């Protein structure tokens, strides 16, 4: 009998499995896809190497960096640090923002207090009130922010529509797909508050290779070195239980007996497995009512770089809400490599790749990038239902890692932890789920 089974080989599952294996437990990770990493992955997509989407790890992601180091990943080899981001207004101005208080204190403070091509002094004062009061409210009564959209909260402080479009759209749509009118103020200030706790840990890291290669596979290797097994192409189709105790998992026609399961899939498969096994009951009814949210990305290989630096660029008011050239960091074997996070993900699920390509070419022109004749290959990478909606009112529906079923813990970026739907959130949720099971077994 396998002592601990982890369902899902994304960051949450790998984090849970590593913590269990390191504590001396026998662990078996079962991942449905042929590659590891989930939404933090890279793979060959019909002849083109793609990634799950443009990813950056801010320096305040402590648990992610600790996990990587503990698994023997050389952080200097796996990550390349950048200090700047850019906001580009279509047919308008652009501004580069420096994000490193320790290395460039004046330039970083200048983002807030200095001259700025995007917003007037009055607009910056209103934004200052918005950010300041939001962070204070988050410190005092965080849950109360989940009643507001970012747009409504910004309007309380007189932030102009222009400043919302230029500064807040990049922070909501660019980072997590939704416009300020639909994005919970709790989510925005929740993440800012985590960064604000470590003002000296600034900078944004890109990965120096595909994320499966530099992150997920080395984590799996560390789990194997501690005696665990990690299997891909293995879809769990059911959870087995008796008298509110886990007894095993179903994989097609086979049964794997176990009394401990970490369910570390993304939201929608977790809901399906829990609903099929336990029905909608008191302890899972909130979780079952969390609505899954899509995300959409577009990736292209070019005959030369699309941008002067491999930095994160936000282009509010275009379909390329956030993008980065990646040929000097993650895809160094390519002459040019653009990774784009698309606005309005629901709409993108219905759009053909050719229609999307022509919209991107036209929007890229509006920010000064001529892609015509330079594209060698392209793919869309869609995530139809992996996230939960970051709209107001959902925070209370997120479940804890612990469940009332003996031997069952939940992990995943949708489970409750302070870093929301991020790599750091996934890593923390996995660590917590492992702790929950180990503590229950020792009591």
- Which residues make up the interface to ligand FAD (CB under 6 A)? 7-13, 30-33, 38-40, 52-56, 235-236, 264-266, 269, 295, 297, 341, 383, 386, 412-413, 421-426
* Contact predicate 230/17, CB 8 Å: yes
CB of 348 to ligand FAD, least distance (A): 11
CB of 393 to ligand FAD, least distance (A): 20
* Contact predicate 51/28, CB 8 Å: no
How far apart CA 52 and CA 36 sit, in angstroms, is: 11
- Residue 148 in tokens: 């507001």
Q: Is 163 or 274 the residue whose CB approaches ligand FAD more closely?
A: 274
In the block, which residue shows the tokens 């996995």?
430
Q: Is 86 or 386 the residue whose CB approaches ligand FAD more closely?
A: 386
Q: Is 259 or 401 the residue whose CB approaches ligand FAD more closely?
A: 401
Short-list 408, 387, 158, 377, CA closest to 283:
408
- b/e 60-90 (16+ beta carbons within 10 angstroms → b): bbbbbbebbeebebeeeebbebbbbbbbbbb
CB of 113 to ligand FAD, least distance (A): 27
CB of 97 to ligand FAD, least distance (A): 16
CB of 10 to ligand FAD, least distance (A): 2
- Residue 270 in tokens: 């977790």
Residues 6 or more apart whose Cβ sits within 8 Å of residue 333: none
CB of 7 to ligand FAD, least distance (A): 5
Q: Is 82 or 425 the residue whose CB approaches ligand FAD more closely?
A: 425
- Residue 232 in tokens: 């891909």
* Contact predicate 83/56, CB 8 Å: no
Q: Which residues pair with 301 in a beta bridge?
A: 337, 377
Q: Is 160 or 229 the residue whose CB approaches ligand FAD more closely?
A: 229
CB of 442 to ligand FAD, least distance (A): 25
How far apart CA 414 and CA 412 sit, in angstroms, is: 5
Q: Is 164 or 342 the residue whose CB approaches ligand FAD more closely?
A: 342
Q: Is 33 or 201 the residue whose CB approaches ligand FAD more closely?
A: 33
Strand 408-410 with 261-263, pairing: parallel
């Amino acid at each position: 009998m396998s002592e601990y089974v982890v369902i899902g080989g994304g960051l949450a599952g790998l984090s849970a499995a590593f913590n269990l294996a390191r504590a001396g437990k026998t662990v078996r990770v079962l991942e449905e896809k042929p590659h590891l990493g989930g939404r933090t992955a890279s793979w060959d997509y019909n002849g083109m190497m793609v990634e799950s989407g443009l990813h950056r790890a801010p320096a305040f992601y402590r648990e992610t960096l600790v996990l990587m180091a503990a698994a023997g990943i050389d952080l200097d080899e796996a990550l390349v640090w950048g200090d700047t981001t850019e906001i580009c207004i279509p047919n308008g101005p652009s501004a580069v923002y420096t994000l490193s208080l320790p290395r460039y204190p004046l330039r970083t403070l200048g983002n807030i207090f200095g001259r700025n091509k995007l917003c007037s002094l009055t607009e910056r004062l209103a934004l200052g009130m918005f950010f300041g009061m939001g962070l204070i409210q988050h410190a005092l009564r965080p849950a109360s922010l989940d009643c507001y959209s970012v747009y409504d909260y910004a309007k309380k402080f007189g932030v102009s529509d222009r400043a919302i479009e230029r500064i807040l759209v990049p922070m909501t749509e660019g980072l997590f797909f939704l416009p300020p009118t639909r994005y919970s103020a709790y989510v925005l200030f929740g993440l800012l508050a985590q960064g604000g706790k470590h003002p000296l840990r600034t900078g944004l890291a890109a990965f120096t290779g595909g994320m499966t290669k530099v992150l997920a596979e080395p984590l799996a290797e560390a789990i194997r070195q501690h005696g665990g097994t990690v299997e891909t192409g293995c879809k769990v189709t059911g959870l087995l239980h008796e008298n509110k105790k886990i007894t095993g998992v179903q994989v097609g026609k086979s049964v794997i007996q176990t009394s401990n399961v970490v369910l570390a899939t993304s939201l929608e498969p977790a809901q399906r497995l829990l609903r099929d096994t336990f029905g909608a009951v008191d302890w899972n009814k909130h979780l079952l009512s969390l609505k899954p949210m899509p995300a959409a990305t577009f990736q292209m290989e070019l005959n030369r770089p699309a941008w002067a630096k491999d930095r994160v660029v936000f282009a509010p008011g275009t379909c390329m809400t956030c993008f980065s050239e990646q040929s000097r960091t993650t895809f160094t074997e390519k002459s040019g490599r653009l990774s784009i996070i698309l606005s309005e993900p629901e709409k993108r699920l219905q759009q053909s790749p050719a229609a999307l390509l022509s919209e991107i070419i036209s929007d890229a022109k509006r920010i000064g990038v001529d892609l015509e004749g330079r594209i060698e290959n392209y793919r869309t990478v869609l995530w139809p239902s992996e996230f939960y909606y970051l709209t107001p009112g959902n925070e209370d529906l997120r479940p804890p890692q612990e469940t009332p079923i003996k031997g069952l813990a939940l992990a995943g970026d949708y489970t409750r932890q302070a870093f929301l739907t991020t790599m750091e959130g996934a890593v923390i949720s996995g660590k917590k789920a492992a702790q929950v099971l180990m503590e229950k077994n020792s009591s």
